[in-house]
Amino acid sequence: MKKISLFKPFIGAEEVREVAKTLRSGWITLGPKTEEFELAFAIYVGTKHAVGLNSATAALHLALVVSNVKRGDEVITPALTFASTAEAALIVGARPVFADVDPRTLNIDPRSIEKKITKKTKAIIVVHYGGQPCDMDEINKIGKKHGIPIIEDAAHAMGSTYKGKKIGGGENIACFSFQAVKNLTTGDGGMITTNDASVNKRLRSLRWCGINKSTHERVTAGGYRWDYDIDEEGGFKYHMNDINAAIGIVQLKRLDAMNEKRRQIIAVYDAALKNSKTIRPVVQLPGRKTSPHNYCVLLKGYDREALISYLIDKGISTGVHYKPLYHHPRYKKFGSAQDTPITEAVWPEILLLPLHPQLSVGDARRVVTALLSFKA
């Protein structure tokens, strides 16, 4: 029986060729390939600056640093997210404050954000869950009204558009992930986008120990020049390297086709589940084009663990994104079921079906047939 995995990266012959070329080129760290990827990425999402990093976790941390979020501040995030979204707040010494989600989309609910704002709120991190853009008009309005920066965790939203504009090309800092199973992968990696030249300059120094001139810049100045300065602020070891960037350049060219492949699988799932009274896919709201990262359904009246085991027996892997962060020991003291009742009510119903570009329509049919054959 062929196993159907929940996620699976697609790496083609061109990625392998480009990595081999980079490995042989003599330049494998931050350098020309990273610059090429940053430029192509900036053009693709429609932003002025894209800064290559080693992860979205690093991007979220730096987004808070350049937003001047400090010890004792509060950062609003959803609880229905991966650890990094809230962990970024803890890294800068701030407190994550969890806002609730819209049960239709599982995206953060702007009305809940507004309720959680206090004098200490210094940033709001929104997550485009599963690739579907959040209600950015409302969220940006709230940010402006209270003078609080909005940071977009776009780890799932590579290629998604909101009102005709790509995520990452708007007015906010956006943080992307190229981790192994994301829509665009470099193995691991991340990108942070901004239209602000001074933020761009700070990010470039912050990503490499506060150093004001990369080695590659010092080489291309005409013979290797050793001298650089470390800015007062210092920094971190967060930059992308050229091996990952070589993969990213090829993956970016493939991205639209890979996202289209994901949509074909979703069309099969949607058609099969459209009349179900007990399995409801996450609602796609108008004004967005989602580059789907996951396919999330909400189950009514199921024993979810029994269903997961039933599907495993049929060679099909499923997932749950996410157990709310306040259910993890690390985040217990920052939130509870009472703070975010919708998150608490909805997460036991979440099930992710397999979604990746290597699935065939036949695989997708096998998944929904198995799902619908389970007696709830």
Ligand X SMILES: Cc1ncc(COP(=O)(O)O)c(C=O)c1O
* Interface ranges with ligand X (CB under 6 A): 55-57, 81-82, 84-85, 127, 153, 155-156, 177, 179, 190
Would residue 213 show up in a list of annotated catalytic residues for this protein?
Answer: no
Alpha-carbon dihedral sign for residues 198, 200, 205, 206: positive
The nearest distance, CB 15 to ligand X, in angstroms, is 18
The nearest distance, CB 321 to ligand X, in angstroms, is 7
In which residue are the tokens 């990746």 written? 356
Residue 3 CB partners (closer than 8 Å, separation 6+): 315, 316, 317
Closer residue to ligand X, CB minimum distance, 155 or 364: 155
Closer residue to ligand X, CB minimum distance, 7 or 228: 7
Closer residue to ligand X, CB minimum distance, 44 or 82: 82
| Catalytic residue chosen out of the listed positions 33, 122, 166, 182 | 182
CB atoms within 10 A of CB 186: 31
Q: Does residue 117 contact residue 91 with C-beta atoms inside 8 Å?
A: no
Q: Cα–Cα distance between 331 and 334 in angstroms, integer? A: 5
The nearest distance, CB 24 to ligand X, in angstroms, is 27
Closer residue to ligand X, CB minimum distance, 19 or 151: 151
The nearest distance, CB 152 to ligand X, in angstroms, is 10
Give the C-alpha distances (Å, rounded to integers) separating 325 from 126, 139, 168. Answer: 15, 22, 25
DSSP-assigned beta bridge partners for residue 108: 101
Give the C-alpha distances (Å, rounded to integers) separating 204 from 48, 52, 65, 176, 313. Answer: 14, 9, 13, 16, 49
Looking at the annotation, which residues are catalytic? 182
